[in-house]
Amino acid sequence: MKEPKVHVGILFEPQIEFILLNPYRINGMEISGKQVVTYNEGRILWNGRLYDELLFEPVNEATDAFELLDVTIGINFHWERKEDQRFLGSLKIIVENKKLTGINVIHVEDYLTSVISSEMSATASLELLEAHAVISRSWLLAQIHKNKEITETQTEYSAFTQTDEELIRWYDREDHTRFDVCADDHCQRYQGITRASTEIVKQAIAATRGQVLTSDGKICDARFSKCCGGAFEEFQYCWEDVKYPYLTKQRDWSKSTTSYKLPATNAMQNDSAAPVAGSSSLVADSPLPDLTQEAKAEHWIRTSPEAFCNTTDKKVLSQVLNNYDQETTDFYRWKVVYTQEELSALILKRSGIDYGQIIDLVPIARGTSGRLWKLKIVGTKKTLTIGKELEIRRTLSTSHLYSSAFVVDKEDISPEGIPARFILTGAGWGHGVGLCQIGAAVMGEQGYKYDAILLHYYIGASIEKLYE
Ligand SMILES: [Zn+2]
Ligand SMILES: [Zn+2]
C-alpha cells in the first residue's frame, strides 16, 4: 500500500475565492494567481465556463501551496470568524446542496502533522505525541476505508429505545459522504499549513509513519477521553451494544511496572503516587473491583485509588488540557452541588420533560468504570430511567457533566420527602473508553514507550505499519 490521500472538506459557500501561490495543473493547463468559482444552477462557473467538478493539482507536490480566502472557523462558537488559510496538496471543487464545497486532497502524513500540531500542547512528551499520532492515523484511515453508503449528512446520529419507564439513547458521529473528514471539531480541526507545525510533532509523525492499531485484521476504533477515573469503561455502555475485544475493562495502572518500562530517566520524582521501578507490589494487591456492583462503585468513587490518571501534576495536565486552566485539576474525583430549584429547572430545560420537583436520582446500571448507563429520575410528576452515559451527562448539566460515574447525596429532606440539595460526587472526565489522555501523559512522563502506552489502553491490539 502507498501512502493514501485524505479528502478534507474545508468550506461550503456559493462562491469560493482562492490564490494559487505556485503554478497548478488543471485540464492540461498550468495556471496560477487569484481564482473565483461560483455556484451556477447546479454547476461550477469558472472563467466564463461551466464545470461539474474541478481539480487543481500542484506541479511540485512537496512545496506548492494555495490559499483559500475567507474560511469560516469556529462554526457556531462565540469566536466564529473568517480567515485566509494556506494548504499543501490539491484543491477539488464539487457541487453539494446548492453550494460549492472546497476540498483539500492531501497526503495522510501531512494532514496528521497539521492536526496534531494544532490539537496538542507543544509541551507534550514525544511518547505521548507518538501514541496520539497512531490513534489519529487509525481514526483517519478508518474514515477513508469506510464504505460510503450512508446518504444522510447529519453531524450526529442517535439511536434509542423507549418505553413508559425507560428512555435509553446513545449518540455517535455521522460520517461524511462526499469527502473523508471535515476541517471542523466534528472531525478534527484542520488549518492546513496556515500555522507552522511543531518540530516535536513532525518527529512523532515521522517515527510512527504508516502505523495504525489493528485487531483481527481491522483498524481499531481507537476512542479516547480526558480521564477514565481509574478504570476503563467498555464501548457497549456508551454507544451501540457491540463489544470490542480491545476496549475492555482494566485498571488504569500497570501490574508490571518493571517489565515494559524504560529506565526512569524522566520519571516524576515529586509525585509520590508514581510507581517506582522495582516496587510493583502495590498493584498486585489491587485488582479492578467489579464496579458494575453499586456498593463497589460507591466505594471506588468516594475514594481516590491509585491510577496513572490520578495526578494533579500541572506539568502533565498542561500537556493534555486545551487552554489549560490552573483551577481545573479536580476531575479525577469531583463534586457538583445543586439546589432543588437548580436541579429541577435544569432537568426540565435539558430534557424537555417535566418531572416536577426531584425526589431522587437512583443508580440503576453501571458500566465497568462505575459510569452510570441507566439512571432513574424520580420526580413528583414523573419517574423515568434515562441512559446512556452522554444522555445522563447532558441532562444533569448546562453543558456536559464531567462523567456519569457519580454517587448522589441528598440533604435537608423536607417532611414531604423533597431534598433541598443534591451533591454529586464523581470520577473522571469523558466516556472513559480507550486511551485515557491524562493517564497516557503520565505514562509518557514516566518513560513508557508509545507502543506500551497504546497496548495498555487498547488491550490485545496490534500496531501495524500499513505503508512505508
Ligand atoms: Zn466532520
Ligand atoms: Zn485513566
CA 45 to chain centre: 38
**Among residues 422, 426, 401, 393, which one has the least CA distance to residue 303?**
426
Residues 382 and 359: their CA atoms lie apart, in Å, by 10
* Ligand nearest to C-alpha 185: 1
Measured in Å, residue 141 CA sits from the centre of ligand 2 at 26
Instruction: Tell me the sheet residues that pair with 435.
Output: 224
Measured in Å, residue 363 CA sits from the centre of ligand 1 at 34
Measured in Å, residue 140 CA sits from the centre of ligand 2 at 24
- Tell me if 130 sits within 8 A of 448, measured CB to CB: no
Kindly indicate the confidence band of residue 322, based on its pLDDT and cuts at 50, 70 and 90: low
Residue ranges with CB less than 5 Å from ion ligand 1:
182, 186-187
Measured in Å, residue 90 CA sits from the centre of ligand 2 at 40
Which stretch of DSSP H or E encloses residue 24? strand 15-26
**Among residues 53, 117, 115, 118, which one has the least CA distance to residue 90?**
53
- Does residue 207 register a pLDDT over 90? yes
* Ligand nearest to C-alpha 176: 1
The x, y and z cell numbers of residue 252, run together, are 488504569
- Tell me if 225 sits within 8 A of 429, measured CB to CB: yes
* Ligand nearest to C-alpha 175: 1
Q: Please report, rounded to a whole number, the percentage of residues in the chain having pLDDT higher than 70.
A: 89
Encode pLDDT of 398-436 as tens digits.
888 999 999 999 999 999 999 999 999 999 999 999 999
The beta strands (E) that lie in 42-80 are given as 43-46, 49-51, 54-58, 65-73
**Among residues 82, 80, 54, 51, which one has the least CA distance to residue 68?**
82
* Ligand nearest to C-alpha 154: 1
The beta strands (E) that lie in 297-417 are given as 333-339, 358-366, 372-379, 383-387, 406-413
pLDDT number for residue 265: 40
pLDDT number for residue 271: 41
* Ligand nearest to C-alpha 184: 1
* Ligand nearest to C-alpha 8: 1
Measured in Å, residue 223 CA sits from the centre of ligand 2 at 13
* Ligand nearest to C-alpha 177: 1
Which stretch of DSSP H or E encloses residue 107? strand 99-107
**Among residues 408, 407, 402, which one has the least CA distance to residue 389?**
402
* Ligand nearest to C-alpha 180: 1
Q: What three-state secondary structure class fits 450?
A: helix
Measured in Å, residue 432 CA sits from the centre of ligand 2 at 7
Kindly indicate the confidence band of residue 23, based on its pLDDT and cuts at 50, 70 and 90: very high
- Grid cell 469556529 is found at 74
- Does residue 452 register a pLDDT over 80? yes
- Does residue 195 register a pLDDT over 80? yes
268 CB-contact burial (10 Å; exposed 0-12 / middle 13-18 / buried 19+): middle
Mean pLDDT throughout 280-308?
84
* Ligand nearest to C-alpha 369: 2
pLDDT number for residue 324: 53
Measured in Å, residue 418 CA sits from the centre of ligand 2 at 36
Q: Measure the CA dihedral 431/433/439/441, to 10°.
A: -90
Measured in Å, residue 182 CA sits from the centre of ligand 1 at 4
Q: What is the pTM of this model?
A: 0.85
Measured in Å, residue 231 CA sits from the centre of ligand 1 at 29
**Among residues 275, 130, 309, which one has the least CA distance to residue 211?**
130
- Does residue 282 register a pLDDT over 50? no
**Among residues 172, 251, 284, which one has the least CA distance to residue 427?**
251
Measured in Å, residue 419 CA sits from the centre of ligand 2 at 33
- Does residue 299 register a pLDDT over 50? yes
